Amino acid sequence: MKLRSRSTTKGVNYATSPLLAAPTPSWRSRFVVAMVGLGFAGLLGRAAYVQIIDAEFFRKQGEKRYAHTLEVPSNRGRILDRNGALLASSVPVPSVWAIPKDFSAPPEQLRALLRLLRMDAGEFEARLASGSANFAWIRRQLDPELWAQVKALGIKGLYETREYIRRYPEGESAAHVVGFTNIEDQGQEGIELGFQKQLQGRDGSRGVVKDRLGHVVEDIGQAVEPSDGRDIQLSIDAKVQFFAYQRVREAVLEHRAKAGSVVVLDVQTGEILALANYPSFNPAERSRLTGAQLRNRALTDIFEPGSTMKPFVVALGLETGKTRLDEVVNTAPGSMVVSGIAIKDAHPHASLTLPEVIQKSSNIGTVRISMRMQPRELWELYSNVGYGQKPQISFPGAVTGRLRPYKTWRPIEQATMAYGYGLSASLLQMARAYTVFARDGEVVAVSMLRQDQPAPGLRVFSPETAREVRKMLQMAAGPGGTAPLAQAMGYSVGGKTGTAHKQEGRGYASNKYRAWFVGMAPIDKPRIVVAVMVDEPGKGVYFGGAVAAPVFSQVVQQTLRTLNVPPDLEVRAQVVTHALPAEPESF
Amino acid sequence: MSKVNLILLLAVIASSLMLVSTAYDTRRLFAAIHKAELESLRLAGEHQRLEAERQAQATNLRVDRTARERLAMRTATPAVTMYVVDPMARAASAAAGAAASGIAR
């Protein structure tokens, strides 16, 4: 009882239960709290670092893993002829590349691959080792069907990408005009080079998000639209071009010549309808190309224009009143001396009327007329019609030719230039110069691009003078002239031959010739000027009238027919226009 | 009050599910568009290839050769061509001429 009462007075101390007394020291709990707090602070710090301080780096790393930039390829412009026929166009083809570090193929697959690609093992290894660890070209610009077979092998680490290859349907006939591109789609020659800027497109790009399977799922950022290259429409008529090429090719082969060129100009617009050279090349197979094949001779080769200069001198004489149409020029005895140097006619005549000077191509007659003029007058004439001037045709390699300033001319030079020696020009320049007669006294600027408007000309002679000279040119290409073979069926023609020893070093080669012919048709209202040149005809026949004039004739006839020009000469028709009644058959 | 909350909660859940499914749809459709774009690019390339091929089959060289060798044709000359005057053009020029002479009178 006593015990109970004591306990009631003292009471029980609940606050300090021995059960509640912690067995561990209290600093440990504080330590844990501090640690957890510290952990959170660390995380916060890291979060701040990631989100604020070094955010850019992490954003970039993230983007790298899902964002991709897709190239959107642009297309190189096409090259068309005047009627819209393709002369060059780009076609997408697969190119095969590999990731060398990923590449693996069992031996039989590898053999099949090498067989398809027509490669030996050594070459393949070399290709594989040629790039980095992540990229090596195996074969560029492969046939699509071949790629389909390669793809079917399912080789690891082998991929395709699309590249553009250039196709040239007209092949060798237009090769010099169109030119070609290299494997990187950069123009190397011809129009492909001259109009590289306009033809080439600009590749576009767009940012996208790809999922794990490689599907594009979202656009991000700014897309750059690709811009395709511009189409270029040339003045060339593929039909005329082809025909001109065929004819000059035949002539070169027939006369075993070294080369030949043809230029066809539209008189009204100054457009180049055809510009063909032989030898030529196939733009699709360029592995064994020689410089001779590549040369666009009609534009790059210069030579002395020879007798084709004579009509200009006669025309200037008529224009300035230094000669008259009815003048009889004394050409006896077939030679004359200027500053101690003899000038000769190949076929001497006692005297010639003015038209006959051109018809018979008399050097002496022409020199007599030219010596009545001032050097300055002649120089102005020559440069007005384009001699010594660079043709404005935005075509690479077009040469200027040579025409010396008149102040340095000696009398003998004034004399020889009158019949075409001592100055030089390309075939295109000669053809262009003849537009002065074809256009009634105006010379027209030539163009390689299609023109829809007649081009303005630069007046050099009066229309009357031009018409008179045209008549002389018609005589030269007629019976009794130097080039009767220039006659075309159904169309009146006129023109002038030229034949010259080729220049070699400082002199002339005795057995190498160049033959050419420049003319126009129809003669009353010329529509085209055609110039033909054959280099080094090798079969003994070498006169322009025999070698170049027949080509002129055929090209004129075909071109005018293609241009729908009605014949201006009577032709004995070989067509039967009425159905003949048939005899009733008996049986 | 709790009823309103419940309704809002359900609405939020429904809308978020919708968002997920729409995002998925968007990506799926986008992938489809991209695929179609690639296909159109491929077809455009194919078109160019065929165009070039057609031109290659119709080059002047080939036409000329086929005409000569297989069809035994020859180059036309004015001698074997009959020239006819377009009656429409003639009528038009005659009318113009009549009108001009009428004015002159």
The predicted structure's pLDDT at residue B97? 63
Asked whether the predicted pLDDT for residue A272 surpasses 90, the reply is yes
Residues from chain B that touch A208, judged by Cβ atoms under 8 A, are 34
List for chain A the helix, strand, coil content (%; round to 5): 35, 25, 40
Which of the residues of A are catalytic? Answer: 307
Distance (Å) from the alpha carbon of B32 to chain A's nearest alpha carbon: 9
Q: Tell which residue, A102, A127, A107, has the closest CA to residue A117.
A: A127
The predicted structure's pLDDT at residue B105? 41
Half-sphere exposure of A579 (CA within 13 A, CB side): 3
Asked whether the predicted pLDDT for residue B104 surpasses 50, the reply is no
Residue from A163, A177, A217, A578 whose CB has the most chain B CBs within 10 Å, to mutate: A217
Asked whether the predicted pLDDT for residue A152 surpasses 80, the reply is yes
Count CB-CB contacts under 10 A for residue A471: 16
Residues from chain B that touch A577, judged by Cβ atoms under 8 A, are 82
Distance, CA of A386 to CA of A383 (rounded, Å)? 5
Model pTM score: 0.80
Minimum-distance CB partner of A91 among B26, B27, B49: B49
Identify the closest residue of chain A to B65 by CA–CA distance. Answer: A246
The predicted structure's pLDDT at residue A102? 81
Asked whether the predicted pLDDT for residue A48 surpasses 90, the reply is yes
Average pLDDT over residues A109-130: 84
Asked if the Cβ–Cβ distance from A561 to B64 is below 8 Å, we say: no
Distance, CA of A173 to CA of A243 (rounded, Å)? 9
**φ and ψ of A351, to 5 deg:** -150, 155
Asked whether the predicted pLDDT for residue B99 surpasses 70, the reply is no
More confident residue, A193 or B92: A193
The predicted structure's pLDDT at residue A109? 84
The predicted structure's pLDDT at residue A583? 65
Q: Spell out a b/e string for A276-304, using b for 16 or more CB atoms within 10 Å of the CB, else e.
A: bbbbbbebeeeeeeeeebbbbbbbbbbbb
Asked whether the predicted pLDDT for residue A3 surpasses 70, the reply is no
- Average predicted confidence (pLDDT) for chain A: 86
- What are the structural domain ranges in chain B? 2-77
Distance, CA of A417 to CA of A398 (rounded, Å)? 22
Identify the closest residue of chain A to B84 by CA–CA distance. Answer: A566
For the stretch A71-86, pLDDT in tens is 887 888 999 999 988 8
Please enumerate residues of A whose Cβ is less than 8 A from a Cβ of B. 75, 85-86, 89-92, 144, 162, 167, 169-171, 173, 208, 211, 215-219, 238-239, 242-243, 246, 489-491, 557-558, 561, 566-567, 569, 571-575, 577
With beta carbons less than 8 A apart as the criterion, state whether A236 and A81 touch.
yes
The predicted structure's pLDDT at residue A217? 79
Q: Spell out a b/e string for A484-502, using b for 16 or more CB atoms within 10 Å of the CB, else e.
A: ebbbbbbbbbbbbbbbbbb
The predicted structure's pLDDT at residue B96? 67
The predicted structure's pLDDT at residue A473? 92
Share of chain B above pLDDT 70, in %: 88
Cα→Cα distances A3→A6, A10, A12, Å: 5, 11, 14
Distance, CA of A30 to CA of A44 (rounded, Å)? 21
**C-alpha of A374 from chain center:** 41
Minimum-distance CB partner of B77 among A208, A242, A489: A489
Instruction: State both tokens at A62.
Output: 């993230």
Strands (E), A204-308: 204-210, 216-224, 232-233, 259-266, 272-278
Report residue A295's pLDDT band, with 50, 70 and 90 as the boundaries.
confident
Residues from chain A that touch B48, judged by Cβ atoms under 8 A, are 75, 89-92
Instruction: State the span(s) of chain A assigned CATH 3.40.710.10.
Output: 238-562
Asked whether the predicted pLDDT for residue A344 surpasses 80, the reply is yes
Distance, CA of A444 to CA of A115 (rounded, Å)? 58
Identify the closest residue of chain A to B55 by CA–CA distance. Answer: A169
For the stretch A489-535, pLDDT in tens is 889 999 998 888 877 777 777 778 889 999 998 999 999 999 999 99
Asked whether the predicted pLDDT for residue A24 surpasses 80, the reply is no
Average pLDDT over residues A554-574: 86
**C-alpha of A312 from chain center:** 32
Residue from A161, A172, A218, A240 whose CB has the most chain B CBs within 10 Å, to mutate: A218
Contacts of A317 (CB under 8 A, 6+ apart): A323, A369, A370, A372, A373
With beta carbons less than 8 A apart as the criterion, state whether A561 and B76 touch.
yes
For the stretch A273-288, pLDDT in tens is 999 998 899 888 887 7
Instruction: State the span(s) of chain A assigned CATH 3.90.1310.10.
Output: 71-91+163-233
Share of chain A above pLDDT 90, in %: 32
Instruction: State both tokens at A261.
Output: 């060129």
Distance (Å) from the alpha carbon of B100 to chain A's nearest alpha carbon: 25
More confident residue, A157 or B23: B23
Cβ contacts below 8 Å, chain A against chain B, sum to 86
The predicted structure's pLDDT at residue A234? 93
Residue A58 host element (H or E): helix A55-66
Instruction: State both tokens at A350.
Output: 């006692």
Q: What is the CATH number of domain A238-562?
A: 3.40.710.10
Asked whether the predicted pLDDT for residue A4 surpasses 60, the reply is no
The predicted structure's pLDDT at residue B86? 80
Based on its alpha-carbon atoms, the radius of gyration of chain B, rounded to whole angstroms, reads 37
Average pLDDT over residues A144-160: 84
Minimum mean pLDDT among A8-12, A364-368, A479-483, B59-63: which range? A8-12
The predicted structure's pLDDT at residue A527? 94
Minimum-distance CB partner of B31 among A170, A215, A243: A215
Distance (Å) from the alpha carbon of B31 to chain A's nearest alpha carbon: 5
Minimum mean pLDDT among A393-402, A442-451, A461-470: which range? A393-402
The predicted structure's pLDDT at residue B103? 46
Asked whether the predicted pLDDT for residue A422 surpasses 80, the reply is yes
Class of domain A71-91+163-233: alpha beta
The predicted structure's pLDDT at residue A581? 65
One-letter amino acid at A412 equals: I
Q: Tell which residue, A230, A219, A223, has the closest CA to residue A191.
A: A230
The predicted structure's pLDDT at residue A154? 82
